[in-house]
Amino acid sequence: MSKKTISSNSRRKFFKVATSAVVAGGLLAACKPEDNTKKSGAAEKSVKLTMQAAWPSGANIFFEMAQDYCNMVRDMSGGSLTIDLKPVGAVVKTSEIGQAVSSGIVDMGHWVTAYWYGKNAAASLFGTGPSYGMSSQEVMAWMEYGGGRKLYEEATAKVGFNYTGFFHMPMPAQPFGWFKKNVTKVSDVKGMKYRTVGLATNVLTAMGMVVRQLPGGEIQPAMKTGLIDAAEFNNPTSDSQFGMQDVSKHYHLGSFHQSQEMFEIPCNTKRLKSLSPAHQAILKNAAYAANSDNYFKALSRYSESLSMLMNKHNVNVYQTSDEILAAQLKGWDKVIGDFVKKDAFFAKVVKSQKDYARRTMKYLLMNQPNYKLAYENEFGPIGQVKI
């Protein structure tokens, strides 16, 4: 082989190796850890937000659920986004949370829309309104896929709230509550001084009850002193934490007065938009995560608390009678009809909910088998089952 041939072959090998090295080097450079770190957002600037809840700290499952949401935000962000959760009254009163978030006194809140019902009656439709066959699960579905969110944003704007709301925890239907005797007829509750909130005050007033709106912490003392004759708050766990079993031994489950509520997390819109897209997405999606987790926790804890009330505190537990439930529905018809006539926005929200319920609930109710039938097939009549 001639020197010229050797030289040509060497040059070809050199360029081939060099080209391979350049390509490999480019690939290695593209895979450098530093670049991935920048792209993944792992170097996200640390941010701390302040949230005030409408619930006391300590033994309070609602405060615990608010903390669950905060923990999810921290974990999903790898610790770069944290929320300092404060209990009710730490900064402002419950009724002031919406305005405090809007003005930036706190970044976020944790409460329910019924707490700003006094500013706009339509607030109650986003959690404590008429059922039309929907549970809280379906109302939340209407919020996100049935046009509810746009109407909700219109409602917050009408009352001057400058915040973006996230929702989580589709609450099971709230009990009719605690009475001094077993009530089965509408005549049994007429004239009773009863505690509730939101549009339920109008509904039960239409049934002949005398309604008092009281904060959660005042319910048990009010019933103990006779300021009220009967009361509801939310669920067996919260009710037992308030000590309702010490002032009543008659607990009525299942009611249409508040059959589909959920938590609202207002977040100051300006503060939210100042965050990175990743942090904004985490605040939103952590609510979806908490939605499932809180509901799973509620099913376990509420049933455990009901068992304790029955077996340790000798509380008599009843299902609210069909007569009372039917009267509640008639009360809703009257209240909704009155508001629709005088409030165009209220009427618009009601129409949206009815349109959504008519379509989706026909499918859901026809598709669901009779779960009570399956339960009683295994355990016997539901009213006689010991838990």
Q: How far is CA 40 from CA 196, 364, 386, in A?
A: 48, 41, 53
* Ramachandran quadrant class, 62 (left: phi over 0; alpha: psi -120 to 50; beta: rest): alpha
Answer yes or no: do 99 and 198 share one domain. Answer: no
Q: What total of structural domains would you count in the chain?
A: 2
Answer yes or no: do 238 and 279 share one domain. Answer: no
Tell me the pLDDT band of 383, cut-offs 50, 70 and 90.
confident
161 found inside a domain:
yes
The phi, psi pair for 119, rounded to 5°, reads -85, -35
Answer yes or no: do 78 and 223 share one domain. Answer: no
- pLDDT tens-digit profile of 39-83? 444 567 899 999 999 999 988 999 999 999 999 999 999 999 999
Answer yes or no: do 63 and 163 share one domain. Answer: yes
Residue 183 confidence (pLDDT) above 70: yes
Question: pLDDT value at position 247?
Answer: 94
321 found inside a domain:
yes
- pLDDT tens-digit profile of 75-106? 999 999 999 999 999 999 999 999 999 999 99
367 found inside a domain:
no
306 found inside a domain:
no
Answer yes or no: do 76 and 159 share one domain. Answer: yes
Name the pTM for this structure: 0.85
Token couple for 11:
């040059």
148 found inside a domain:
yes
Tell me the pLDDT band of 30, cut-offs 50, 70 and 90.
very low
- What CATH number does the domain containing 58 carry? 3.40.190.170
Q: For the chain, give the percent of residues with pLDDT over 70.
A: 89
- What CATH number does the domain containing 233 carry? 3.40.190.10
Q: For the chain, give the percent of residues with pLDDT over 90.
A: 81
Range in 32-46, 229-243, 246-260, 263-277 the model is least confident about = 32-46
CB 183 within 8 A of CB 189: yes
Residue 161 confidence (pLDDT) above 80: yes
User: What value does the mean pLDDT take over residues 326-352?
Assistant: 96
Answer yes or no: do 133 and 156 share one domain. Answer: yes
CB 200 within 8 A of CB 257: yes
211 found inside a domain:
yes
121 Cβ partners below 8 Å, 6+ apart?
Answer: 199, 339, 343, 346
- pLDDT tens-digit profile of 204-220? 999 999 998 887 788 99
Tell me the pLDDT band of 367, cut-offs 50, 70 and 90.
very high
Residue 2 confidence (pLDDT) above 90: no
Share in percent of the chain as helix, strand, coil (round to 5): 55, 10, 30
What 3-state class would DSSP assign to 82?
Answer: strand
Question: pLDDT value at position 217?
Answer: 80
CB 73 within 8 A of CB 282: yes
Range in 35-44, 158-167, 220-229, 242-251 the model is least confident about = 35-44
Q: Is 237 exposed, middle or buried (0-12, 13-18, 19+ CB in 10 A)?
A: buried
Question: pLDDT value at position 198?
Answer: 81
Residue 7 confidence (pLDDT) above 50: no
Answer yes or no: do 192 and 156 share one domain. Answer: no
Tell me the pLDDT band of 315, cut-offs 50, 70 and 90.
very high
Tell me the pLDDT band of 17, cut-offs 50, 70 and 90.
very low
Residue 173 confidence (pLDDT) above 50: yes
Averaged confidence pLDDT in the chain: 89
Answer yes or no: do 84 and 218 share one domain. Answer: no
What residue numbers bound the domain in which 161 lies? Answer: 47-172+261-299
Answer yes or no: do 124 and 246 share one domain. Answer: no
Answer yes or no: do 71 and 196 share one domain. Answer: no
Answer yes or no: do 118 and 160 share one domain. Answer: yes
Answer yes or no: do 168 and 295 share one domain. Answer: yes
